[in-house]
Structure 1
Amino acid sequence: MISDEKQPLLTGPSSSTPIDNVDVQNVELVNDPNLTKDEKSKTEYHPASERCLEHPTSNFDTLIHLLKGNIGTGILAMPDAFKNAGWIFGVFGTLLMGFICTHCMHMLVQCSHELCVRNQRPALSFSEVVEDAFMLGPVPLRPYAQKMKKVVNVFLVITQLGFCCVYFLFVATNLQDTFRFFHINLSVHTYLALLFIPILLLAMVKNLKYLTPVSLIASIMTAWGLVITFYYILQDLPNTKTIKKFSSFHQLPLYFGTAIYAFEGIGVVLPLENNMKNPEAFGGWTGVLNTGMVIVAVLYTGIGFFGYLKYGEHVLGSITLNLPNDMLAQSVRAVMAASIFLSYGLQFYVPMNIVWPYVKSKLTSEDALKHGEAVTRFVLIFITFIAAALIPNLSGIISLVGAFSSSALALILPPLIEIVTFWPDQLGKHNWKLWKDVAIIIFGITGFGFGTYASLEAILNHA
């Protein structure tokens, strides 16, 4: 969220070379349909060989970052997602969702590589891939290149601020549950207010170098919390007859929103691939991406199924809130709350890096520039605080963020980019890629619409 946790642990190099300054002759050679495959390979630009990486990551490093980028608050909400789907639909739906999201990640990487070759650029970000795809795509779409880049950035900001809002609320609700054990009864809003200053100080850290050790500690805490959570939910399991096989159609959009929120690791894919020592190992059937996403899908399905089986219709927005009131369970809540708290700064890094350059370009005086970044950070953090205070419903806000913004980034934009990038004659035999992409887009738009509506309805009813 960055994956649920969409962690900006690595920021890939990106050439600032504009499209207009590309070596036109080389680009024409690469795209010449009359060249044979061997001739193309001799003239083709190889982006990976042009990347100047100060600290390239190994395959194992990338796998760890990919797992951290996908496993966070979303996995703890999967039992609640299964409650809205039923266990049979939940199991097969989650595996299918994982397959589709992983395929969309592959599409994004493939399109990025293709556009890097065409434009002679070593690496591209998500928004740059969209911009270049439209700039070199069908002529009627080219005027919209800059607008599409802004659309992607807006969705990235909304998604990441949504994650920050979920983090705020997650920490507050788990702290509330932990302190109840010690007979301290305070409202969620009180804990949100107490958290504001510590989170503000954490998010004021500008350099990722100082946040990386914090992320490592958070990863260890998350692993510990998941191990103990599985220890509890795998004990004394009832028969599957005690839970629903299928839920109502009215609840399915809520399942979609939570599931896509949990699987939304697409924001971290390009930075990870761009920073690999051997980027060719990222794709492929047994590559880093497939290996990591299989692990993620199995974990999500496992904790979703067993968590729902254990607690049934009483399962809450975070499975940690269902754990018993003993010291070990309280330690899980405290550890997971601390882990998510420490991860806030990394989540906040992405929207800040998008918003601040825009705000900076509007400032003219030296005083405004001097204090502008700090003020911008405060305003964005305050927005996440207000949103968490106004919507103290963890499952509802997770589903809303997933349905509204994550579905656009994970399911709608990648197939759209593939269509535009390879239009009109590189979409496979009988244009099978086109029809496949259209089907995914329709699925994404359907989930976007119904999921957003159902999430808002649930939030309003809860209020």
Structure 2
Amino acid sequence: MKNRNGETLNMQRIPDMDKESNPTTPLNVEAQDYNPHEHRNRPHPTTNAETLIHMLKGSLGTGILAMPNAFCNSGLITGTIATVLIGILCTYCLHVLVKAQYELCKRLKVPILSYPQSMKVALEQGPTVFRRFAHISPIIVDGFLIVYQLGICCVYIVFVATNIKQVADHYTTPLDVKIHMLILLVPLIIINYIRNLKLLAPFSSFANVITFVGLGMILVYVFNDLPSISEREMFGSVRNFSLYFGTTLFALEAVGVIIALENNMKTPQNFRGTCGVLNIGMVVIVILYIIVGFFGYVKYGPEAAGSITLNLPMDAVMAQCIKVMFAVSIFITYALQAYVPVEIMWSTYLDHHIKENKLFWEYVCRTIVSLVTFILAISVPRLGLFISLFGALCLSALGIAFPAIIEICVLWPDKFGPCKFVLLKDITIIIFGCIGLVVGTYISLFDIIESFK
């Protein structure tokens, strides 16, 4: 499966564990010489260079296209500094999560733990106040993952319909964007019926190529007749910063992708470290996002839309080609994103309860997922606010707060360093993540409601 930007994911949710490797094994039993990296059985592991390419390729999607709108909410100076800081925070939290999962795997003597498993196992052995939540923590993590993936699918539907509308309106009688979404409904359901993702592999490769080409064509428009920087706001309002935060977090944070990439590496020990794949990849990604966000806002100012493609001229053939290219790319990726909530809901919660006609009910599940994303998208066709909402709501928890909670539990009770520095640091991160979740979600929902008045 792939992430929101078309990145290939390995969706092995539950690793095979024998009785000696049960995830409920006490974590205070020291793992001797067990190295999880040596026991991972990957038929086609990726090299360091391939992993880095996957990271970079995965960053060039709807997230980066929304960065000019994010800078519009933050201002040029605030946006540049904050993007660097958020990039550092996201990278650090990913380091924390990968390191904590590695330690849990060592203690349990298993090669891989999924994110929900890691949370459950960690809470079981953490502070007493956390242990009561251990049994429901996988459901909570899965819930955030499902909501986030459904949110991505909603963003995709709005993105495709809005871009197609701009092109179609130039040649035919203008139609409401909701009509274009309705036209897309049946194709979305059909493409979501594809159960074997290998069938989509050639189309996904094509989507990745046109995404790269399309982004290069967009930069041609951005740097053509660029206005003076002095014409733009240097600092945005405090209120709008929460919208910037949600959008940037949506663009930068890819916790599921990072875990999948690290799990599929030939030399996972090279993923972390000062000059590891993660740091190099995130540095390049942050620089790309700042370039697109900064100059995209300089170019289009307060008119910067939820996707920079919507700011391109409607009557220019090259701009129309860009919009169609990205619409096709994102449409293909919808099936891969919708696969994630289907996989979680069907394999984890539904499959073992259904005894007959499983294939039929799986298709029913896939249809319902498509219908839910369509209903949400047609109810709130606000691309920028959608991106900000789901970034703040889900990624503040999945990408920031949860990794810090897991680290506290892994290091509990006496491995926090001098003056319990790590504990204080993790508590600060958790508070920051919770504030981002609450404030960002509230402001996004408020603006969505206000946009209908």
Structure 1 CA distance, aligned partners of 2:69 and 2:261?
A: 30
Change (3 A) 1:326 1:110: same
Q: TM-score if structure 2 supplies the norm length?
A: 0.94
Offset, 1:30: 2.5
Q: Give the Cα–Cα distance (whole angstroms) in 1 for the partners of residues 189 and 125 of structure 2.
A: 42
Question: Where does residue 9 of structure 2 map in the other structure?
Answer: 9
1:359 alignment partner, one of 338, 350, 359: 350
Match of 1:173 in 2: 162
Q: Which segments of 5 or more consecutive residues in structure 2 lack a partner in the other structure?
A: none
Q: Aligned with 2:343: secondary structure?
A: helix
Aligned residue identity for 1:123: I
**1:221 and 2:210 correspond:** yes
Look up the match of 1:342. Answer: 332
Cα separation, 1, equivalents of 2:119 and 2:35: 20
Moved more, 306-315 or 423-432: 423-432
Structure 1 equivalent of residue 243 of structure 2: 254
User: How far apart, CA to CA, are the structure 2 residues paired with 1:318 and 1:446?
Assistant: 26
Partner of 2:222: 233
Matched-pair contact (CA < 8 Å) for 2:21–2:110: no
User: 1:250 is paired with a residue of what secondary structure?
Assistant: helix
CA distance in 2, matches of 1:455, 1:25: 42
Greater mean deviation of Cα atoms: 261-270 or 63-72: 63-72
Matches within 5 A, 1:167-316: 167-316=156-305
2:112–2:263 Cα contact (<8 Å) kept = yes
Conserved? CA contact 1:13–1:275, under 8 Å: no
- Indicate how the Cα distance of structure 1 residues 80 and 13 shifts in structure 2: closer, same or farther if over 3 A, else same: closer
Paired-residue identity, %: 41
Q: 2:47 is matched with which residue? A: 58
Q: What is the CA distance between 1:27 and its match in structure 2? A: 7.1
In structure 1, give the amino acid aligned to 2:9.
L
Between the aligned partners of 1:23 and 1:171, the Cα distance in structure 2 is: 42
| Aligned residue number for residue 444 of structure 1 | 433
Instruction: Indicate yes or no: 2:139 matched with 1:134.
Output: no
Change (3 A) 1:430 1:201: same
Measured at CA, do residues 23 and 133 of structure 1 come closer, stay the same or move farther in structure 2, by a change above 3 Å?
closer
In structure 2, C-alpha distance between the alignment counterparts of 1:318 and 1:461, rounded to whole Å: 20
Letter in 2 for 1:361: H
Q: Taking structure 1 as reference, are residues 298 and 362 closer, same or farther at Cα in structure 2, changes over 3 Å only? A: same
**Which stretch of structure 1 is more off in the superposition, 430-439 or 397-406?**
430-439
Residues 1:328 and 2:313 aligned together: no
Which amino acid in structure 1 is aligned with residue 97 of structure 2?
L
| Deviation of 1:445 (Å) | 1.1
Q: Return the TM-score normalized by structure 1.
A: 0.92
Residue 37 of structure 1: aligned partner: none
1:93 pairs with 2:82: yes
Q: Give, as a single letter, the amino acid of the residue that structure 2 aligns with 1:141.
A: F
SS at match of 1:84: helix
Report the alpha carbon displacement of residue 375 of structure 1 after superposing the two structures with TM.
Answer: 0.1
Are residues 1:393 and 2:382 paired? yes
Task: Tell me how far 1:23 sits from its aligned partner.
Answer: 11
- In structure 1, what residue type is equivalent to 2:30? V
Shift of 1:363: 2.4
Structure 2: distance between partners of 1:24 and 1:412: 23
Aligned amino acid, residue 352 of structure 1: V
CA distance in 2, matches of 1:333, 1:52: 41
1:157 aligns to what?
Answer: 146
Call closer, same or farther: CA 1:232–1:106 in 2, change over 3 Å: same
Q: Aligned to 2:74, what secondary structure does the other structure show?
A: coil
Bigger mean CA offset, 89-98 vs 68-77:
68-77
Give the Cα separation in 2 of the matches to 1:232 and 1:83: 18
Q: Which amino acid aligns with 1:335?
A: M
Look up the equivalent residue of 1:68 and give its one-letter code: K
CA RMSD of aligned residues (A): 2.1
Question: For the structure 1 residues 449 and 26, does the alpha-carbon distance in structure 2 shift closer, same or farther, using more than 3 Å as the test?
Answer: closer
Distance 2:57 2:14 in 1: 23
Please state how far the C-alpha of 1:187 moved relative to its aligned partner: 1.1
Contact kept, 8 Å, 1:89 with 1:246, in 2: the verdict is yes
Kept in 2, the 8 Å contact 1:86–1:244? The answer is yes
Farther off after superposition, 232-241 or 380-389: 232-241
Letter in structure 2 aligned against 1:171 = V
